[in-house]
Amino acid sequence: MNTAIAKKRIGQVLRIDSIDSTDSDFLATHVPFRKIAVCTNSGDKFEEAYRSEENIFNEIFTSEESKNEHQFVIVEGSSGAGKSHFIRWIYAKLSANEDKNDAVLLIRRSDNTLKGTIRQLLDIKEVKEISNKEAYERLIKANQTITEGKFKSTIYHQFIVEIENDTSEVLGNIKRKKLIALLNNSVFQDKLMAPGGPIERIYSKITSTSPSVDLDLIAQFNEADLTLDIDFIDQLEDADRKAQDIANDLLEGGDDEFIRKITDYLNSFVETVIQTSAGIEPGDFQQIFKEIRQELKRKGKGLILLIEDITSFTGVDQALLNALVTGHTGSNAVDGLCKLISVVGTTTQYYNRFRDNYRDRITKQITIHDGVIGENKSDLIQFTARYLNAVSLDSEVLDERVKKGAYPEDMPVHTDDEHDHWDKFKLSSGKRISLFPIRHQRYILLHHGSKGTKTDL
């Protein structure tokens, strides 16, 4: 380790969020994902295989068969599996292998709210230059602040408005009126608007002032929200008779099928409620992405869109998906759209809610399984080695590597003649990184619950 450089570099390299790292530091410290499950759309079925991250990158962005094709790629996995990190790696790779024929837009996970996503969109050069100023102004208006209490109340009462004006036959007229009566009951309203309840969940996906908001939260009702116990029923003794009737139908231990039906019914309005409450027209996002693609087409460019988490678009996610699955050839050629390659991150739970018409348009499904990186003891040692190496190198050295494409075999390695006897980690390229000042690789393994002998991994 070069301590003189490390004192200056440690704060630059050790970032809490990898998105805040420079591309050169990120790529220098990135531990490659091991086998990644990839399902490719082939005819009427998906064919699954395992790929390395480099293979996947080349298949999507550099192979002659696919790089000029419309692609809709899903990256799914459980919370914390590494989806955002993988998409961040793709962004860094694209930056290192800059193709002037493509504009690359990254929508960060950020605070994972619709408002946070809108702020990012407003900062993108291609959005600022769109000709549809009316849609642009609506997005600006949607980004304006509103008090938390007022916003939550607006969301709650908008559900009542939507149900009052519902013309579907999902819920019979009598049941619908009883549900409206229950929603208008102040006791029931307090229950749904309580901390941790469905209204707070929906609010937190639009805008949130809480630093501890669950980033993987899904903005919807669940059956537990609408399952009532006998003590709650007793609190409704002075309520409207219609409210009491449907409350009894929601009593725990009763008709689970009905509770599930009411839950699904309320969730069917979530997207419309969010759009109305936030002052967003559903077609705004589709129109904006359409105009971005038309402008890039005029400039002879394509668009690569990387979205760390689709739930950042809660409330307009269906409109966004409509935009992402729209190709640039065939019947769509008349619109003059550029080629679009979109890579979208999503939790498995949210992905399971995708409609069939969106699933059918997926060209590649990438699954990041738990433990694909980080749980292997070799990964731990490599992680340590890469950070020790990065803090010992001037940023200019790593920046130069990125300018040349950031190929794995070109990784600069700090040499330390004074501690050349120290343990080293061997990269796939054959280069060896000193683990000084970590005493021994065996020390690392033993102190993380593993047994074994010292080895030059």
Q: Do 69 and 97 fall within a single domain?
A: yes
Look at residue 145 in the predicted model and tell me its pLDDT: 64
Report if residue 321 sits inside a domain. Answer: yes
Q: Do 318 and 384 fall within a single domain?
A: no
Look at residue 366 in the predicted model and tell me its pLDDT: 93
Question: Does position 387 have pLDDT exceeding 90, yes or no?
Answer: no
Report if residue 314 sits inside a domain. Answer: yes
Q: Do 303 and 387 fall within a single domain?
A: no
pLDDT tens digits for range 171-193: 999 999 999 999 999 999 999 99
> pTM for the whole thing?
0.77
Q: Do 362 and 396 fall within a single domain?
A: no
Report if residue 177 sits inside a domain. Answer: yes
Domain that holds residue 106: 33-138+298-367
Q: Do 196 and 243 fall within a single domain?
A: yes
CATH code of 323's domain: 3.40.50.300
Weakest mean pLDDT among 119-123, 347-351, 426-430: 119-123
User: Rounded distance, CA 39 to CA 35, Å?
Assistant: 13
Q: Do 200 and 261 fall within a single domain?
A: yes
Residue 48 pLDDT class (50, 70, 90 cuts): confident
pLDDT tens digits for range 206-245: 876 554 556 567 889 999 999 999 999 999 989 999 999 9
Domain boundary residue among 367, 401, 416? 367
Q: Do 313 and 344 touch, CB atoms closer than 8 A?
A: no
Report if residue 160 sits inside a domain. Answer: no
Q: Do 182 and 227 fall within a single domain?
A: yes
Question: Does position 450 have pLDDT exceeding 50, yes or no?
Answer: no
Look at residue 213 in the predicted model and tell me its pLDDT: 52
Look at residue 376 in the predicted model and tell me its pLDDT: 66
Report if residue 454 sits inside a domain. Answer: no
Q: Do 114 and 50 fall within a single domain?
A: yes
Mean pLDDT, rounded, for 326-340: 88
Angle at 230 between CA 225 and CA 234, to 5 degrees: 105
Higher pLDDT, 341 or 9: 341
Q: Which percentage of the chain shows pLDDT scores above 90? A: 29
Question: Does position 297 have pLDDT exceeding 80, yes or no?
Answer: yes
Report if residue 303 sits inside a domain. Answer: yes
pLDDT tens digits for range 148-178: 888 899 999 999 999 999 999 999 999 999 9
Residue 281 pLDDT class (50, 70, 90 cuts): confident
How many CB atoms neighbour CB 440 within 10 A? 12
Q: Which percentage of the chain shows pLDDT scores above 70? A: 86
Question: Does position 427 have pLDDT exceeding 60, yes or no?
Answer: yes
Report if residue 143 sits inside a domain. Answer: no
Domain boundary residue among 250, 268, 286? 268
Mean pLDDT, rounded, for 396-415: 87
Q: Do 380 and 357 fall within a single domain?
A: no
Look at residue 249 in the predicted model and tell me its pLDDT: 95
Q: Do 230 and 317 fall within a single domain?
A: no
Look at residue 78 in the predicted model and tell me its pLDDT: 87
Report if residue 424 sits inside a domain. Answer: yes
Residue 446 pLDDT class (50, 70, 90 cuts): very low
Q: Do 174 and 229 fall within a single domain?
A: yes
Number of domains in the chain: 3
Mean pLDDT, rounded, for 120-126: 77
Residue type, 456: D
pLDDT tens digits for range 55-89: 999 999 988 877 789 999 999 998 888 898 899 99
Domain boundary residue among 367, 389, 421? 367
Mean pLDDT, rounded, for 25-45: 80
Q: Do 327 and 415 fall within a single domain?
A: no
